Structure 1
Amino acid sequence: MPEVELSAGTIEYEDTGGNGPVLVLLHGVAMDGSLWRNVVADLRSDFRCVVPTLPLGGHRRPMKADADLSLLGVARLVAEFLERLDLRDVALAMNDWGGAQALVADGRAQRIGRLIITSCEAFDNFPPGLPGSTLVRSAKMPGGLNTAFTLLRLRPMRRLPMTWGWMSKRPVEPEVIAGWFQGVWSSAGIRRDLRKYVLGVPPKSELLQWAEKLREFDRPALVAWAEEDKVMPPEHGRRLAELLPKSRHVEIADSYALIPEDQPAELAKHMREFLLDTARGNA
């Protein structure tokens, strides 16, 4: 897997290559780029898909000890990643991680030509829902993240509402989720990085101010939300679509938050339609 050295440390990424429009796909906490594997398989014939593994707990190399891995710090790493790879006019897609409002509010969206926001943290829902609040409590306790993720070695524990049961409607393949958790299971440095992110969320008032800045994103945006999402309220998807001046909004049936897991073909269809339409200049 290719890698790039950023200010915080080494980031691994997948790059399908090709001459098509660039699509950068971002994942959420305690996952890696394989979240998008089925969507990438569908879209790679038409688009150059670049999928970094962000330092959110699913990464395999700890970041530097002094790295800023707060919400804003990770958003800045995304912008740095685009700059280091000299990716321009990208379509930036995200699921679970809600960094769009941080990127735009911090003035880091110059290389983004289109946004694709699928069920994710938004407004002041950081970290999101019941699983997010459970993660925060664990991060605040000495050794809490180690204990919490050790319990997730037991497959039945992964389907509880407070862990991963409300993230995907169907269980994630065991070998995939084991890959996501391997770093947290085995490395104190990875757990340190994850803790920095979980506890590095600004006050709700600041988060809401960031969200308002999305009104200034004057490029096309697709907001695709899971109809049955129990962690990221569907109302947030509708509100985001109202904030973004050039947006279209769809809701996807039979899915929880991790739409790339539950409904990859349906999500890929909407993404392809949006990307091809907007490439032709249609809103």
Structure 2
Amino acid sequence: MDEPQFVTVHGHRRAYVKRGNGPALLLLHGLACDHTTWAPVVDRLAERFTVIAPDFLGHGRSDKPRADYTVAGYANGMRDLLTVLGIDKVTVVGHSFGGGVAMQFAYQFPERTERLMLLNAGGLGREVTPLIRAISLPGWIFAFGVLTMPGLRQAEQLALRRLRDLGLRETRDLAEVADILESFADPRARRAIVHLVRAAIDWRGQVLSMRDRAYLTAEMPVHVVWGRDDMVIPVKHAEELATLAPTAEVTIFDDSGHFPHKDDPERFADLLVDWVDRTSPATYSRAKWRRLLRSGALPPVEAVATA
């Protein structure tokens, strides 16, 4: 994948990759990941789109300041990055925590959002793996400071990758966990992740949810993609979408976990390209948005599910 470019917004340096030409596609990574999570699909997508894959603040090569690490703050940051880059409207694709940011972006800036794709996304239900809930607990920063010490960290990563090689459903995503462990070696990144998680998750699970605003997607193409073997956020969140969004498509990848775009990149890229080709971009109307807000909801419509 190309080396990232950098731009300073609000005094903080932000890293991003920009590739290709065509309609703009904004790819948002998950918790403790960075733009490289999209490496398996960027080349294919750049054949059709202008692909923008940023590192969130507190992640990857972007700065890790004392800052606003809320979902709304990240959505604002994506708007400002796109503005600096001269990009007006995007199809936004969000994975895991990035899915929560994508939802918030579409809600806050419908005039700039043409389509919304959610990939194993947070914000569709309360359940989340206890390992992520634990990040919100006192002492987490100290504990991971110890666990990511040189030598110990490498041994843990080797063990995780060997467990991944067992080929079990429960160990499918451990190679990605090993990569995430590397990012926790930076104390600035650890602090950012703690602030982020505490704003979105407590000991009972996810706090933020699109459930009360899902009806607003009536005016926008929405597609939810999930790996059936996801051990981080359960697949039932995708399967329950019909009760949340007035119109949506749902695709379940049977032989996949929390990272479908890495488990089967060719299928994911083809799915995304086909979906964009056969849907019309949303056209923002303040009058329609006002009517939706006043109605508070629309009658539920069954989601279109594909295997």
Deviating more after overlay: 265-274 vs 67-76: 67-76
Give, in whole Å, the separation in 1 of the partners of 2:16 and 2:32.
16
Specify the alignment match of 2:82 in structure 1: 82
1:278: how far off? 1.0
Higher CA-based Rg: 2
SS in 2 for 1:25: strand
1:245: how far off? 3.0
Q: Give yes or no for contact 2:141–2:194 (8 Å, CA) kept in 1.
A: no
What is the percent sequence identity of the aligned residues?
21
1:134: how far off? 3.4
For the pair 1:73 / 2:76, whether they are aligned, the reply is no
1:170: how far off? 5.5
Question: Cα distance 1:250–1:8, how it changes in 2: closer, same or farther (>3 A)?
Answer: farther
SS in 2 for 1:125: coil
CA displacement 1:201-233 (0-9 Å, x = unmatched): 26779624x432121122101111112222221
Question: Cα distance 1:72–1:149, how it changes in 2: closer, same or farther (>3 A)?
Answer: farther
CA displacement 1:29-71 (0-9 Å, x = unmatched): 1111111111112221111111001135x42343333x11123
One-letter amino acid of the structure 2 residue matched with residue 83 of structure 1: T
Give, in whole Å, the separation in 1 of the partners of 2:125 and 2:253.
23
Q: Which of 49, 52, 58 lines up with 2:51 in the alignment?
A: 49
Specify the alignment match of 2:269 in structure 1: 268
Question: Cα distance 1:188–1:155, how it changes in 2: closer, same or farther (>3 A)?
Answer: closer
SS in 2 for 1:100: helix
Specify the alignment match of 1:198 in structure 2: 197
CA displacement 1:79-129 (0-9 Å, x = unmatched): 322233232331100111122343345x23431110111112123437x31
Specify the alignment match of 1:146 in structure 2: 145
Question: Cα distance 1:9–1:120, how it changes in 2: closer, same or farther (>3 A)?
Answer: same
SS in 1 for 2:275: helix
Specify the alignment match of 1:4 in structure 2: 7
One-letter amino acid of the structure 1 residue matched with residue 121 of structure 2: C
Please give the TM-score of this superposition, normalised by the length of structure 1.
0.81
Q: Give yes or no for contact 2:260–2:268 (8 Å, CA) kept in 1.
A: yes
SS in 1 for 2:257: coil
Question: Cα distance 1:61–1:78, how it changes in 2: closer, same or farther (>3 A)?
Answer: closer
Specify the alignment match of 2:122 in structure 1: 121
Please give the TM-score of this superposition, normalised by the length of structure 2.
0.75
One-letter amino acid of the structure 2 residue matched with residue 211 of structure 1: R
Deviating more after overlay: 148-157 vs 268-277: 148-157
For the pair 1:214 / 2:214, whether they are aligned, the reply is yes
Question: Cα distance 1:206–1:8, how it changes in 2: closer, same or farther (>3 A)?
Answer: farther
Once superposed, what is the RMSD of the aligned Cα atoms? 3.1
Q: Give yes or no for contact 1:115–1:220 (8 Å, CA) kept in 2.
A: yes
Q: Give yes or no for contact 1:215–1:243 (8 Å, CA) kept in 2.
A: yes
Structure 2: unaligned runs, 5 residues or longer: 283-303
One-letter amino acid of the structure 2 residue matched with residue 117 of structure 1: L
Specify the alignment match of 2:251 in structure 1: 250
Specify the alignment match of 2:30 in structure 1: 28
Specify the alignment match of 1:169 in structure 2: 172
Q: Give yes or no for contact 1:168–1:258 (8 Å, CA) kept in 2.
A: no
Structure 1: unaligned runs, 5 residues or longer: none
For the pair 1:64 / 2:65, whether they are aligned, the reply is yes
- When the two structures are aligned, how many residues end up with a matched partner? 268
Question: Cα distance 1:41–1:64, how it changes in 2: closer, same or farther (>3 A)?
Answer: same
